[in-house]
């Protein structure tokens, strides 16, 4: 069957082209270079070619209209070159003169390969060819449209900085640089994606990141067999642990401050051009319950909040399953008064409790998904319909019992508390509902055992995902897990993620 | 995961999912929630079981106004064993009985006199039964007590449970839990006891419940009943007295009837062997408050008055324990106070040699009681006017 | 970034303690001769002594061949012996997994779902255990630490809620019928201990000094058992002896306010322990077999063991459950001694002599 499926998939797909081709060098005949450019880039309307003369030599200026700032191009490249006095006559000397005396930008480089020049052109640089010169000059005058730095949307913080990463790659690096002005912060560039040639930046602190880990990240990303990379999600599977798990062993953040905090603990952060999110490894399961706000509050409140989040996680995963199990098998647990109420409510519904639970949670997920993807103007309408249909009509019609509705509400609210792991949590919830309905509480316990062993078996770049709980590290446990030490002690020494491997 | 395993997993999961629907008979809405069980023996050695079951619709909506019937229903079934009789309940209601919420097991008086041992097995063996469920004897038949109703929105078993739980603040009440009953029935060193409950017809036609006495068993057969003072002695010697219980004395010097409310009661029992006879040295220490002082002429509370009260109370408790143990030991040769169990633990050697004739030894057992009463608070009183 | 497949000594401690606690929670007095409840306290001490005696070979193994399991040690003597030893130990581990499942099934069908078929539960349990076994020793070891923490929380809760129900009157005098019943109960408990055999395979997979932690385990387990017996017999008295699973019956008594039946808590962690134990047993047998036979078949060995256990359990569950009640103490002791004393003794002696000969030759 799998063979058949693979064949069917092969029919509608094609193998990504291999980009390993001989690289042509820049010809001394500028026109030949232009012909090569046009051949590679086709008739794209945004690529502008300007033929001119510098002295007696024919020259070509090429730019990508959308990627460059036109004013800068005119002011810093075209005007100074064309109005230059004392321009030498020899083409090579002309190019040297332009590079050293005329243009004023620092972002400027010499390219001998035509393909490299094309890449620079598409990155927003202006290319200059002069007849008789075996290389071209690239001037950085980028000015592509971009979003300004805005507030974080998915990791809202009460008391800390509000800035979030943007799509612009350099801005993101700048956001991090601004926070860590130390030479130990390293930002190494790499490219992934055969066609997209997306730039990624591997960021780490040279003095504390495990060099083996940094190399492993670079190697894995180098080996990533991708054609186009349009987001961090494309790279995530190449960084994940070998053990398949619902929980990701790669962390994600949209906040530069969190990215810096991760680097400070010896982790490696990966930025992807065009994506306002960063990945980081190694990632710990416990970090799903932490936020930067915890460090801005007093330690006792952080303890309270973290305990609350873990309780919310437990509720959101297990509550519906336990409810189904209790109603189906373990009625003896309920105190008498609660038993009466639950019994009378459940007695009016036509479905078995398990099916009722799956049905109502399924409806809830539909409403949630609709609310998320709909334009904001109709989002409210979706909420109202959802509330009316689920909240009122279903109970009145006797399709759903009121206690079940309370369970859904509690579960939904709890799952938003641990929004970082919402997706695995919602899947687990369904799994535990089924297990609870079939084998009761004891099946749920076995399910929990499987989940626990799975989470414990995951290694994120050599660091156990469940650390510092399993394996147990008392030092790390007491430092910053449930309990967070005060900054007077926390600030003295930074946690070394590497130590958790032991 | 290997491909064949993936292929196997899907049908297995589907089978599990669909098979779950077959458990719907165990769901809460399909269960017959039992609140009390009454066991009576009838002719030919058969058992009549009366079940007090919950009308969940009424229990969940007591104030709905709709005619949902009584909150409890009672149904009577028969069988050769308790288990068979209970399972026969399905013939009348078509639901699976659920015993985990059961509050009370009642044996009819005749059943208790004939012996309860055969009927205990079901309650011990069945996993759904709580070991801590209350057990009692009905003054008449178990059916009378279990099928009695207190009104359409009152769970009768709950009222009976409340009466038994009142032991916490009343010295004249004792309750008994299933596991303790089994222990007492099974051991040679003590005898079982159970409260006797009675359903009386009230003025409006509705029943009302009352704790009548405490039945004492010889092995598994009901032998006699302890009345109020005997029950107090039982509570004290089994170390079950809690804060709130009250007892009344007569202060002869001041000629006043008084009631003392216990704040704390500690009992220390030392089993000894003296002259080849078992002796129990019982030391009781009671801290009590004056709850009432009934006198014709109010007088000031003096040290002498307090001392006299103390003495009267001590004499009362000493006498109470001595008389009641004596009566049980000599007249009935039973030990509901579980003194024998203490003796067995502390004087194992002696007990082992007399294990066969322990019952015969009971009339010779000496109980030495030494009570110390401390008056804690005198409280308000007309004497202060 | 170091890739290891070893567990720490504390993980070893958690794994073997959970495995043993499992037997404790389903401790049953059926099959034992009638004894007074206080004699069970004495039996704990006897059991500890017996287990220590049966562990002699493990101590010798850890001294002479600290980094090797029995298969490796047997290989020194002869590759064929090594294969035989692997098969023997794999059989023992599968047998132990089977007895664990049978006990689980017995418990589930008597207490948890007396009205429904427990086959489904057994199937789910084995599938889950097979999956966990494929995750490796590190996953199981780490999960056991967390499970032990959860177990301790539940244990403490039950003990605390039971505290006010304990009555010294419920205890019987000790050695009322002599010392023999306690001795027999101690031996009976000891022969149900699979941890000694487990240790022969776990030793080389442990970092640090496992024998020191093993001694701690012996003592800690005795303390757990004494506390549980104290609560059980202090709370329930002789009623506990009427129950198939007395410790479970004790947990039924724990109540907080209107909430009752916290036995679910204890049963829950107990099932978690059973799951971890079965996973570990599957893993260990697969490890031994892959050493002696085809290496790439690790998952296959686990699946075969799972299938075997299920077939025996479902096919002849009732018959096999008799093992608990009908096997005589002598038979069980002989069977146990064969795997804890005789087989390791022979292997160690053969390897030692061969090693000595080689040493003499090279000298």
Inside any domain, residue B189: yes
What separation in angstroms does the CA of B329 have from each of A424, B326, B334, B366? Answer: 69, 5, 5, 10
CB-nearest to A347 from B19, B20, B56 is: B56
Q: Residue C302, Cα to own-chain centre: how many angstroms?
A: 19
Confidence of residue B173 (pLDDT cuts 50, 70, 90): very high
Which site among B1, B8, B17, B20 would you substitute to test the A interface, given the most A Cβ atoms closer than 10 Å to its Cβ?
A: B20
Q: Which of A467, B359, B191 is nearest to C8 (CA)?
A: A467
Q: Reduced to 3 states, what is the DSSP secondary structure of residue B258?
A: strand
Contact C53, C326 (CB under 8 A): no
Distance from C-alpha of C229 to C-alpha of A179, rounded to nearest angstrom? 60
Sorted by sequence, the CB contacts under 8 Å of residue B182 that are 6+ apart come out as: B120, B124, C238, C239, C242
Chain C positions in Cβ-Cβ contact with residue B348 (cut-off 8 Å): 173-174, 176
Tell me the C-alpha distance between C157 and C153, whole Å. 6
**Pair B235, B181 in one domain:** no
From B258, B291, B295, B261, select the one nearest B383 (Cα to Cα): B295
Q: What is the mean pLDDT of residues C289-302?
A: 88
Per-residue pLDDT tens digits for C62-92: 988 888 889 999 998 888 999 999 999 999 9
Cis peptide leading into A196, omega within 30 of 0?
no
Instruction: Give the DSSP H or E segment for C336.
Output: helix C329-337
Q: Largest Cα–Cα distance in chain B? A: 98
φ and ψ of A260, to 5 deg:
-65, -40
The domain tally of chain C equals 1
Highest mean pLDDT (candidates A7-16, B58-67, B370-379): B370-379
In our burial notation (b when 16+ CB lie closer than 10 A, e otherwise), range B154-183 reads ebbbbbbbebbeebeebbbbbbbbbbbbbb
User: Percent of chain A beyond pLDDT 70?
Assistant: 95
The answer to whether A312 and A418 are in contact (CB under 8 A) is yes
Per DSSP, chain C holds a count of helices (H) and strands (E) of: 16, 0
- How far is residue C14 from each of residues A140, B203, C131, C161, measured CA to CA in Å? 62, 66, 20, 25
Residue C358: inside a domain, yes or no?
no
Confirm whether C350 is domain-assigned: no
Residue B334 maps to a domain: yes
d(CA B225, CA B215): 4
Whether C61 has a pLDDT exceeding 70, the answer reads: yes
A345: contact with B, CB 8 A cutoff: yes
| Four-CA torsion A329, A332, A334, A336, nearest 10 degrees | 130
Please say if the pLDDT value at position B114 is more than 50. yes
Residues spanned by the domain of C128: 9-344
Question: Could you tell me if B222 and B243 lie in one domain?
Answer: no
Helix ranges (DSSP H) in B238-361: 303-326, 339-346, 348-353, 358-361
Q: List CB contacts (< 8 A) between B60 and chain A.
A: 340-341, 343-345
Q: Mark out the alpha helices in A1-110 (DSSP H runs).
A: 2-11, 30-41, 70-72, 79-82, 91-97
Helices (DSSP H) in B115-261: which residue ranges? 117-125, 142-146, 156-165, 178-186, 228-237
Cβ separation of A1 and B158 shorter than 8 Å?
no
Contact of C117 with chain A, judged by CB distance below 8 Å, is answered with no
Q: What is the per-residue pLDDT across A324-366, written as a single tens digit (0 to 9) for each?
A: 998 888 887 787 778 877 887 777 788 888 988 998 899 888 8
Spatial separation of the C-alpha atoms in residues A236 and A224, rounded to whole Å: 10
Torsion angles phi and psi, residue C35, rounded to 5: -140, 160
Among A189, A112, B131, A369, CA closest to C240? B131
Cα–Cα distance, B86 to B38 (Å, whole number): 11
Q: Using CB atoms, which chains have 3+ pairs under 8 A with A?
A: B, C
**Residue C132 domain flag:** yes
Are A284 and A463 a contacting pair, CB within 8 Å? Answer: yes
| CA neighbor of A199 nearest in space, from A209, A214, A188 | A188
Nearest residue to B284 (alpha-carbon basis) of B326, B238, B327: B238
Q: Is the pLDDT higher at B258 or at A106?
A: B258
pLDDT of C306 reads: 94
Instruction: Please indicate whether residue B308 or residue C359 has the higher confidence score (pLDDT).
Output: B308
Greater model confidence, C337 or A468: C337
Q: Give, to the nearest 10 degrees, the angle between helix C119-134 and helix C263-292.
A: 50
Beta carbons of C8 and A442 less than 8 Å apart: no
pLDDT category of residue C2 using cuts at 50, 70 and 90:
very low
Looking at residues A60-75, what average pLDDT do you find?
Answer: 87
Name the residue facing B127 among C111, C167, C299 (closest C-beta): C111
Q: For position C25, which CATH number holds?
A: 1.10.4160.10
State chain C's mean pLDDT as an integer: 86
Q: Does this complex have an ipTM over 0.85?
A: yes
Tell whether B239 and B212 lie within a shared domain: no
- Closest by CA position to C71, among listed C357, C289, C331, C360: C289
Cα separations (Å) of B41 from A492, B140, B215? 79, 12, 18
According to the per-residue pLDDT averaged within each range, which of B376-385, C11-20, C289-298 is highest?
A: C11-20
Domain total in chain B: 2
User: CA angle at residue C277 from C275 to C280, to 5 degrees?
Assistant: 110
Residue C141's closest CA among C284, C290, C294?
A: C284
Query: What backbone phi and psi angles, to 5 degrees, belong to A302?
Result: -60, -40
Domain assignment present for residue C30? The answer is yes
- For residue B105, the SS3 value is strand
Say yes or no: A210 contacts chain C, CB-CB below 8 A: yes
Read off the pLDDT of each residue in C200-221 and give the average, rounded to a whole number: 89
Cα–Cα distances (Å) from C250 to A187, A269, C206, C228, in that order, read 62, 53, 36, 9
Confidence of residue A22 (pLDDT cuts 50, 70, 90): low
Q: Look at A437 and B23 and tell me if their CB atoms are within 8 Å.
A: yes
Within this chain, do residues B206 and B74 fall inside the same structural domain, yes or no?
Answer: yes
Residue A52 contacts C where some CB pair is shorter than 8 Å: no
pLDDT at B61: 63
Query: What angle is formed at CA C290 by the lines to CA C288 and CA C295, rounded to 5 degrees?
Result: 160
* CB A446 within 8 Å of CB C128: yes
Alpha carbons A487 and A490: distance in angstroms, whole number? 4
B165 at the A interface (CB within 8 A)?
no
Residues A165-224: tens digit of each pLDDT: 988 888 888 888 888 888 888 899 998 988 888 889 999 998 888 899 999 999 999 988
* B191 shares its domain with B307: no
CB contact under 8 A, B26 and A346: no
Same domain (yes/no): B240, B108: no
Q: Check B130 against C169: CB less than 8 A apart.
A: no
Distance, CA of A33 to CA of A137 (rounded, Å): 13
CA dihedral B284, B287, B293, B298 (to 10 degrees): 120
Is residue B6 assigned to a domain? no
Is residue B9 in some structural domain? no
Domain, as residue range, for B258:
228-385
Q: Which chain C residue lies closest to B121 (C-alpha atoms)?
A: C242
Residue A299 · residue A484 · CB < 8 Å: yes
Cβ–Cβ gap B17/A329 under 8 Å: no
User: Are the Cβ atoms of B345 and C239 closer than 8 angstroms?
Assistant: no
Cα B296 to chain centroid, rounded: 39
User: Could you tell me if residue C269 is inside a domain?
Assistant: yes
Residue A274, pLDDT > 80, answer yes
Residue positions counted in chain C: 363
pLDDT band at residue C177 under the 50/70/90 scheme: confident
Please name every residue paired with B294 in a beta bridge, in sequence order, or none if there are none: B257
Residue C3 in domain: no
My answer on whether B244 and B368 are in the same domain is yes
Q: Within a domain: residue B4?
A: no
**Cβ atoms of residues C195 and C20 within 8 Å:** yes
The residue out of B210, B226, B242 marking a domain boundary is: B226
Q: Per mean pLDDT, which range of B62-71, B293-302, B360-369, C41-50 is the poorest? A: B62-71
Task: Give the pLDDT confidence of C102-124 residue by residue, as tens digits.
Answer: 888 888 888 777 766 778 888 88
- B14 within a domain of the structure (yes/no): no
* Residue A322 near chain C (CB below 8 Å): no
C160 touches chain B (CB under 8 A): no
Q: Does residue C1 lie in a domain region?
A: no
Look up residue A469 and give its two tokens.
């709980």
The reply to whether B256 falls in a domain is yes
| Among candidate residues B213, B239, B241, the one with its CA nearest the CA of residue B226 | B213
Percent of chain A with pLDDT over 90: 26
Question: Whose CA is closest to A484, among A299, A209, A242, A223?
Answer: A299
Q: Are residues B132 and B270 in the same domain?
A: no
Look at C252 and B132 and tell me if their CB atoms are within 8 Å.
yes
Q: Please tell me the predicted confidence (pLDDT) of residue A200.
A: 92
Q: What is the mean pLDDT of chain B?
A: 87
Choose one of B226, B256, B289: the last residue of a domain.
Answer: B226
Strands (E), A12-157: 47-54, 57-64, 108-111, 125-130, 136-140
Contact yes or no for B78/B47 (Cβ under 8 A)? yes
* B7 occurs within a structural domain: no
Q: Over the stretch B215-256, which tens digit does the pLDDT of each residue have?
A: 999 989 999 999 989 999 999 999 889 888 899 999 888 888
Residue B303 and residue A352: Cα distance in Å, rounded?
Answer: 72
A5 in B contact zone (CB under 8 Å): no
What 3-state class would DSSP assign to C41?
helix
Contact across the interface for B124 and C116, Cβ inside 8 Å: no
Q: Which residue has the tokens 């050599």?
A: A462
Mutate to test the interface with A, among C9, C135, C263 (most CBs of A within 10 A): C135
> Min CA distance, C327 vs chain B (Å)?
24
Question: Mind listing the pLDDT tens digit for each residue in C254-284?
Answer: 777 666 677 777 788 888 999 999 999 999 9
Residue A495 β-bridge partners: none
C354 domain residue, yes or no: no
Whole-number Å distance between alpha carbons of A187 and A175:
12
Same domain, B144 and B278: no
Are C281 and C93 a contacting pair, CB within 8 Å? Answer: yes
How does residue B22 score in pLDDT terms, banded at 50, 70 and 90?
low
Closest residue in A to C143 (Cα–Cα): A453
C220 Cβ contact list (under 8 Å, min separation 6): C13, C17
Region of poorest pLDDT, from A1-5, A285-289, B151-155, B216-220: A1-5
Distance CA A169, CA A187 (A): 11
∠ CA A292-A296-A302, rounded to 5°: 80
């Amino acid at each position: 069957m799998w063979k058949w499926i693979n064949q069917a998939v092969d029919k509608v797909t094609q193998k990504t082209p291999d980009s390993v081709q001989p690289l042509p060098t820049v010809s001394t005949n500028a026109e030949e270079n232009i012909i090569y450019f046009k051949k590679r880039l086709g008739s794209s309307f945004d690529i502008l070619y300007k033929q001119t003369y510098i002295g007696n030599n024919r020259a070509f200026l090429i730019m990508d209209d959308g990627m460059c700032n036109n004013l800068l191009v005119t002011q810093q490249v075209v005007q100074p070159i064309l109005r230059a006095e004392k321009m030498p006559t020899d083409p090579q000397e002309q190019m040297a003169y332009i590079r050293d005396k005329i243009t004023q930008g620092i972002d400027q480089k010499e390219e001998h390969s035509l393909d490299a020049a094309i890449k620079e052109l598409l990155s927003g640089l202006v290319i200059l060819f002069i007849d008789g010169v075996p290389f071209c000059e690239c001037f950085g005058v980028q000015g592509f449209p971009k979003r300004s730095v805005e507030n974080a949307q998915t990791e809202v913080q009460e008391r800390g900085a509000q800035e979030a990463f943007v799509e612009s790659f350099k801005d993101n690096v700048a956001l991090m640089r601004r926070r860590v002005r130390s030479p130990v912060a390293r930002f190494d560039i790499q490219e992934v994606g055969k066609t997209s040639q997306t730039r990624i930046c591997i960021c780490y602190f040279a003095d504390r990141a495990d060099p083996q880990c940094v190399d492993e990240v670079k190697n894995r990303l180098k080996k990533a067999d991708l054609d186009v990379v349009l987001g961090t999600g494309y790279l995530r599977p190449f960084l994940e642990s070998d053990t398949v798990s619902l929980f990701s062993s790669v962390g994600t953040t949209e906040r530069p401050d969190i990215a810096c905090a991760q680097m400070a603990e010896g982790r490696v952060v990966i930025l992807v051009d065009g994506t306002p999110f960063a990945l980081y490894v190694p990632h710990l399961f416990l970090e799903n319950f932490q936020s930067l706000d915890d460090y801005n509050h007093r330690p006792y409140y952080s303890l309270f909040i973290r305990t609350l989040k873990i309780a919310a996680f437990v509720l959101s995963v297990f509550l519906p399953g336990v409810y189904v199990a209790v109603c189906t098998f373990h009625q003896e647990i309920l105190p008498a008064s609660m038993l009466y109420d639950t019994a009378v409510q459940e007695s009016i519904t036509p479905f078995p409790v398990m099916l009722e639970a799956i049905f109502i949670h399924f409806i809830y997920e539909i409403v949630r998904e609709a609310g998320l993807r709909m334009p904001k103007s109709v989002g409210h309408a979706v909420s109202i319909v959802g509330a009316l249909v689920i909240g009122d009509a279903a109970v009145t019609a006797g399709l759903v019992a009121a206690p079940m509705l309370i369970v859904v509400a509690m579960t939904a609210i709890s799952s938003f508390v641990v929004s970082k792991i919402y997706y695995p949590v919602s899947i687990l919830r369904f799994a535990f509902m089924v297990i609870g309905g079939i084998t009761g509480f004891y099946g749920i316990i076995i399910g929990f055992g499987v989940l626990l062993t799975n989470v414990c078996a995951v290694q994120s770049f050599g660091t156990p995902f469940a650390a510092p709980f399993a394996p147990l590290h008392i030092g790390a446990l007491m430092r910053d897990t449930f309990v967070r030490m005060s900054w007077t002690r926390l600030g003295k020494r930074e946690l070394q993620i590497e130590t958790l491997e032991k | 995961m290997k491909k064949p395993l993936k292929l196997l997993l899907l049908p297995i999961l589907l089978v599990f999912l669909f098979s779950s629907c077959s458990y719907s008979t165990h769901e809460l809405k399909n269960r017959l929630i039992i609140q009390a069980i009454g066991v009576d023996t009838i002719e030919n050695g058969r058992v009549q079981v009366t079940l007090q079951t919950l009308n969940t619709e009424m229990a969940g909506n007591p104030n709905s106004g709709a005619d949902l019937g009584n909150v409890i229903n009672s149904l009577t079934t028969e069988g050769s064993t308790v288990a068979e009789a209970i399972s026969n309940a399905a013939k009348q209601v078509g639901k699976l009985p659920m015993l985990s919420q059961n509050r009370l097991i009642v044996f009819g008086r005749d059943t208790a006199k004939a012996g309860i041992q055969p009927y205990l097995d079901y309650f011990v063996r069945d996993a759904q039964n709580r070991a801590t469920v209350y057990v009692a004897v009905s003054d008449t038949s178990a059916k009378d007590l279990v099928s009695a109703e207190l009104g359409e929105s009152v769970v009768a078993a709950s009222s009976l449970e409340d009466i038994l739980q009142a032991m916490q603040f009343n010295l004249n009440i004792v309750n008994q839990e299933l596991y303790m009953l089994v222990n007492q029935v099974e051991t040679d060193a003590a005898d079982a006891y159970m409260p006797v409950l009675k359903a009386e017809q009230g003025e409006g036609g509705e029943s009302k419940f009352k704790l009548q006495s405490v039945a004492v068993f010889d092995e598994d057969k009901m032998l006699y009943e302890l009345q109020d003072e005997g029950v107090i002695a039982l509570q004290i010697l089994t170390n079950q007295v809690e804060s709130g219980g009250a007892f009344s004395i007569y202060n002869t010097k001041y000629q006043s009837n008084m009631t003392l409310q216990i704040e704390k009661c500690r009992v220390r029992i030392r089993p000894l062997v003296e002259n080849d006879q078992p002796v129990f040295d019982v030391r009781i220490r009671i801290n009590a408050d004056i709850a009432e002082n009934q006198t014709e002429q109010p007088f000031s509370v003096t040290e002498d008055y307090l001392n006299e009260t103390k003495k009267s109370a001590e004499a009362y408790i000493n006498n109470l324990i001595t008389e009641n143990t004596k009566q049980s030991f000599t007249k009935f040769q039973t030990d509901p106070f579980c003194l024998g169990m203490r003796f067995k633990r502390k004087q194992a050697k002696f007990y082992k040699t007399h294990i066969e004739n322990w019952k015969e030894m009971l009339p010779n057992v000496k109980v030495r009681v030494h009570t110390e009463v401390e008056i804690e608070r005198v409280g308000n009183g007309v004497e202060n006017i | 970034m170091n890739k290891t497949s070893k567990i720490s000594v504390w993980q070893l401690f958690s794994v073997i303690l959970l495995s043993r606690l499992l037997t404790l929670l389903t401790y049953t007095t059926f099959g034992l001769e009638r004894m007074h409840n206080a004699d069970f306290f004495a039996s704990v001490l006897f059991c500890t002594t017996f287990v220590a005696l049966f562990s002699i070979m493990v101590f010798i193994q850890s001294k002479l061949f600290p980094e090797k399991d029995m298969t490796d040690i047997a290989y020194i003597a002869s590759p064929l012996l090594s294969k035989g030893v692997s098969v023997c130990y794999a059989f023992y581990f599968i047998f132990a997994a089977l007895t664990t499942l049978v006990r689980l099934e017995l418990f589930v069908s008597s207490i948890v779902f007396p009205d429904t078929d427990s086959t489904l539960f057994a199937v789910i349990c084995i599938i889950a255990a097979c999956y966990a076994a494929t995750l490796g020793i590190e996953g199981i070891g780490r999960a056991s630490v967390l499970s032990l923490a959860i177990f301790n929380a539940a244990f403490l809760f039950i003990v605390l809620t039971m505290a006010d129900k304990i009555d010294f009157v419920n205890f019987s005098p000790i050695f009322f019928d002599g010392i023999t019943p306690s001795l027999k109960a101690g031996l009976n408990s000891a022969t149900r201990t699979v941890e000694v055999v487990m240790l022969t395979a776990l030793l080389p997979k442990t970092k640090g000094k496992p024998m020191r932690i093993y001694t701690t385990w012996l003592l800690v387990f005795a303390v757990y058992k004494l506390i549980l017996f104290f609560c059980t017999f202090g709370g329930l008295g002789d009623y506990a002896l009427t129950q198939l699973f007395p410790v479970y019956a004790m947990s039924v008594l724990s109540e907080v306010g209107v909430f009752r039946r916290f036995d679910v808590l204890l049963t829950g962690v107990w099932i978690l322990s059973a799951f971890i134990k079965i996973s570990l047993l599957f893993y260990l047998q697969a490890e031994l077999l892959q050493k002696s036979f085809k290496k790439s078949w690790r998952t296959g060995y686990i699946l075969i063991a799972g299938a075997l256990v299920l077939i025996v359990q479902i096919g002849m569950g009732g018959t096999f459950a008799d093992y608990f009640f009908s096997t005589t103490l002598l038979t069980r002791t002989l069977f146990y001694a064969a795997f804890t004393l005789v087989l390791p003794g022979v292997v160690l002696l053969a390897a030692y002599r061969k090693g000595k000969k080689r040493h003499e030759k090279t000298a």
